[in-house]
Amino acid sequence: MDIAHTIAEARRFGAAARAAGRTVGLVPTMGALHEGHYSLIRRCRTECSCTIVSIFVNPAQFGPAEDFAGYPRPFDADTDACRRLGTDLLFAPESREMYPRDQLAWANVEKLTRHLCGTRRPDHYRGVCTVVLKLCNILTPARAYFGQKDAQQLAVIQRLAADLNLGVEIVPCPTVREPDGLALSSRNRYLSHDQRRQAPCLCRALFHARDLLGAGQTDSAAIIAAMTKLIQEQPQAQIDYISIVDRDLLQPIPRIDRPALIALAVHLGPARLIDNLPVDPPPAKTLEYCRDV
């Protein structure tokens, strides 16, 4: 496995891979790798002849009061994991390599970034879009792999790639969960033993919402109220948001009458955890009078 810390090295590697006729796949991460990241890398390995993993804790996507400084950076363990998984290039630049001066040019996706995590993290997606665009410009991958765990990020990047003609296929990958349902996240390591025990309340609320929908409840407010009640049973859980939005533009919908996303963010001690579930409206009931036709 090659390791590049500079843009020039990474650019050379990507160009050489392309010139050799290899299909370059990119897995962008912030490190502290876990099975969720591994699943993206494995998928990339099966679909591409050259797998590049980037590890970059991107300062531009953290707000001033967020955990940029304390974000876990276990670089040696991450390097071992990438090597073990058959990564061809690990690109791990420093902040000053990616942002050598005041950044004046930004990439952004409007509308999709307004709700959900965008409400409390106003510049977050601008930072995400900009770094993904930089990585694509540097490495020129044919495909890039993103987790559905970060459903809003995935939708925003898909729109960025489409609207700015990036020429990169964005490949969505399913959320990897712990046996108790908790979505794997680098931030789970912030949780105390007690908080970890409470953390599956996010997925339990989502699964409860799916059951309600299955039983015919399509009213967003009623579903959100039931989810809120479930989460509030956990003493340390503080709800940031619970939202039901359409899957196209991520706008809140009063009723699940089209493909939707149920998404939530919950603070548990030092960690802000997110999770989501895509759902579809229940099939329209067969009309009584159709039976005899």
According to the binding rule CB under 6 A, does residue 183 interact with ligand AMP? yes
- Crossing angle of the two packed helices 124-139 and 151-163, in degrees rounded to 10: 50
Q: Give the dihedral sign, CA 37/43/47/51.
A: positive
According to the binding rule CB under 6 A, does residue 59 interact with ligand AMP? no
According to the binding rule CB under 6 A, does residue 125 interact with ligand AMP? no
Minimum separation from the CB atom of position 287 to ligand AMP (A): 41
193 among known catalytic residues: no
According to the binding rule CB under 6 A, does residue 243 interact with ligand AMP? no
According to the binding rule CB under 6 A, does residue 173 interact with ligand AMP? yes
Among 136, 147, 191, 209, indicate the residue that binds ligand AMP (CB under 6 A).
Answer: 147
Which stretch in 5-13, 83-91, 141-149, 230-238 sits in contact with ligand AMP by CB under 6 A?
A: 141-149
Minimum separation from the CB atom of position 225 to ligand AMP (A): 27
According to the binding rule CB under 6 A, does residue 146 interact with ligand AMP? yes
According to the binding rule CB under 6 A, does residue 150 interact with ligand AMP? yes
Among 10, 30, 60, 250, indicate the residue that binds ligand AMP (CB under 6 A).
Answer: 30
CB 262 within 8 A of CB 223: yes
Which stretch in 37-45, 102-110, 213-221, 230-238 sits in contact with ligand AMP by CB under 6 A?
A: 37-45
According to the binding rule CB under 6 A, does residue 272 interact with ligand AMP? no
Instruction: Name the active-site residue from 5, 34, 37, 267.
Output: 37
Minimum separation from the CB atom of position 4 to ligand AMP (A): 18
According to the binding rule CB under 6 A, does residue 87 interact with ligand AMP? no
According to the binding rule CB under 6 A, does residue 156 interact with ligand AMP? no
Q: Give 184 or 239: the residue with its C-beta nearer to ligand AMP.
A: 184
Among 4, 17, 40, 260, indicate the residue that binds ligand AMP (CB under 6 A).
Answer: 40
Determine phi and psi for 275, rounding to 5 degrees.
Answer: -160, 165
Binding site for ligand AMP (CB under 6 A): 29-30, 36-37, 39-40, 146-147, 149-150, 173, 175-176, 183-186
User: Which residues are designated catalytic?
Assistant: 37
